[in-house]
Amino acid sequence: MALSITLSEWENRVKKNFLVNGRESFVVCPEKPLEGNPWIWRAEFFGAFAQADKALLEQGWHLAYHKVSDLYGCPSAIQWMHEFRETAVKELELSQKAVLFGFSRGGLYACNYALTYPAEVSALYLDAPVLDIRSWPGGKGTGCGAEREWQECLSCYGLTEKTAASFAENPLDRTEELAKTGIPVLLVAGGSDAVVPYSENGALFAERFRKAGGFLQEFVKPDCGHHPHSLEDPTPIVQFVSMYGK
């Protein structure tokens, strides 16, 4: 069955809207696509703090999104993401590999996808990423946590408060494994983040990733909290994606 696509616009560019497994999906097309149709895949919060997304769109990158909100990167979410990727590559002729943008809880989706399907990911850009569900939404460390989201997250993973304490499938638990895939990582975070504490997420990830031999570039904004994401001048992000994302 042919993919049913409706057209709209985002940032004055054609936006192709469709469903995969009944879930909202879309691809924004650049005016002049780069050879091979490379693409950025926003795991969550499409359009938020999108300085780099817009700059890359102008340079010829496609932008994509598939809605798996409130699933916290659990195995079911990763499977649905994979089916979206298969559709995007086959039906819209996007490149075989994507650059995954993992903002906040999107870090769980991006890292877990890269761990499950490393051959389909060229690079990761993680921004104030959640890398341990106990840190957020669990709030088991120094962060504020989020009770409703924590209960959702436990349900998604089939965990209880007791079993979550020994859960070992967080991206932070599998950092060495991710490093060994050879996927390069750009990490941007606020050093004063009280929601997703950098000390419990990005800092530990960066240390372990590099120790395991992975390539990681890092930008820490010392006085920045969880927001604003990205960099005011997105040039370093654009350069990283352009160099390692194709």
CA distance 145 to 40: 29
Domain ranges of the chain: 6-244
Going by pLDDT thresholds of 50, 70 and 90, the confidence category of residue 1 is low
H/E stretch holding 74: none
CA distance 239 to 30: 18
For the 6-244 domain, the top CATH level (class) is alpha beta
Q: pTM, whole model, 2 decimals?
A: 0.97
Going by pLDDT thresholds of 50, 70 and 90, the confidence category of residue 144 is very high
Tokens representing 22 are 């009944």
Residue-wise pLDDT tens digits, 52-102: 999 999 999 999 999 999 999 999 999 999 999 999 999 999 999 999 999
